[in-house]
């Protein structure tokens, strides 16, 4: 089971935690007259009013931008696809994984039926879109957490964290749509074909069919570049590069 740090990365989670701490106010004893409020509650009211005042002030733009070596992203995509494919090969009974076991054929069929009928993109804990999204987000977050350098002015640790967190949020938003398209919408005809299998041997044929969909939707990048893997890399690179460049960052290849 993935947790928030697995999906969003430590940097973004730390930013979220800090934001929650800064915007959490303990206001007990409000049933009492104001003159009898405990000093702790009065202090929280002062913090709350200060927060309201700060929120009305224009925020200063952080001008620093991270620089990234694009080679690292290729490795992140390779790791993501491999982890996703291994997980689902085990669930389909076509491989093994410590993170998953073979699912009963009725559950795989139920997932297939829902996707083919455009009723849902998941069934119970069988969530291919969420699984691939989690792995891509985790590996891409690691890539983004370690820029090769910074464009001047050099930011403080807090400023750097905020810039990278903003880039991650943009990436995550676009990735969800992209992953759903690559795994489901682009292969809806294939999902419907595998849904038609029945009778003896249908479980194995369905597993092969779904695995083939995943092979095309999330190909493992190797030294031998195919049209499918090249398209996968272009799609993900586009999302990540737009987020970096849209927030003042740069790829080292651009210099």
**Looking at residue 3, what is its pLDDT?**
60
Per-position pLDDT tens, the chain of length 255: 456 665 555 655 666 676 777 788 888 878 888 888 888 888 888 888 888 887 776 655 566 789 999 999 999 999 999 999 999 999 999 999 888 999 999 999 999 999 999 999 999 999 999 999 999 999 999 999 999 999 887 888 888 888 898 899 999 989 999 999 999 999 999 999 999 999 999 999 999 999 999 999 999 988 888 999 999 999 999 999 999 999 889 887 644
CA angle 245, 233, 242 (to 5 degrees): 15
pTM: 0.77
**Looking at residue 58, what is its pLDDT?**
61
SS3 241: helix
d(Cα 45, Cα 81) in Å, to the nearest integer?
Answer: 49
DSSP string of 153-215? SPPPHHHHHHHHHHHHHHHHHHHHHHHHHHHTGGGHHHHHHHHT--STTHHHHHHHHHHHHHH
**Looking at residue 1, what is its pLDDT?**
43
**Looking at residue 104, what is its pLDDT?**
97
Backbone φ/ψ region at 152: left (φ over 0), alpha (ψ -120 to 50), beta? beta
Cβ–Cβ < 8 Å for 153, 64: yes
**Looking at residue 252, what is its pLDDT?**
79
The domain spans of the chain are 4-55, 65-254
SS3 226: coil
């Amino acid at each position: 089971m993935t947790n928030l740090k697995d999906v969003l990365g430590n940097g973004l989670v730390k930013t979220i935690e800090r934001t929650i701490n800064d915007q959490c106010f303990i206001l007990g004893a409000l049933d009492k007259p104001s003159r009898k409020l405990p000093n702790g509650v009065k202090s929280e009211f002062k913090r709350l009013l200060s927060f309201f005042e700060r929120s009305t002030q224009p925020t200063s733009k952080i001008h620093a931008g991270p620089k990234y070596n694009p080679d690292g992203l290729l490795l992140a995509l390779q790791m993501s696809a491999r982890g996703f494919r291994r997980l689902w090969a085990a669930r389909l009974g076509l491989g093994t994984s410590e993170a998953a076991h073979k699912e009963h054929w009725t559950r795989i069929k139920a997932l297939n039926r829902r996707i083919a009928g455009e009723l849902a993109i998941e069934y119970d804990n069988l969530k291919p879109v969420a699984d691939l999204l989690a792995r891509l987000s985790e590996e891409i977050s690691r890539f983004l957490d370690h820029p090769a350098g910074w464009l001047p002015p050099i930011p403080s640790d807090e400023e750097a964290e905020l810039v990278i967190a903003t880039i991650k949020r943009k990436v995550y938003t676009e990735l969800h749509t992209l992953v759903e398209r690559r795994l489901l919408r682009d292969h809806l005809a294939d999902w419907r074909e595998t849904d038609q299998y029945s009778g003896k041997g249908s479980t194995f044929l369905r597993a092969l069919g779904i695995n083939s969909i995943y092979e095309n939707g999330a190909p493992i990048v190797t030294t031998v570049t195919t049209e499918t893997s090249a398209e996968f890399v272009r799609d993900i690179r586009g999302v990540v590069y737009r987020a970096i460049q849209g927030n003042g960052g740069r790829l080292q290849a651009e210099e």
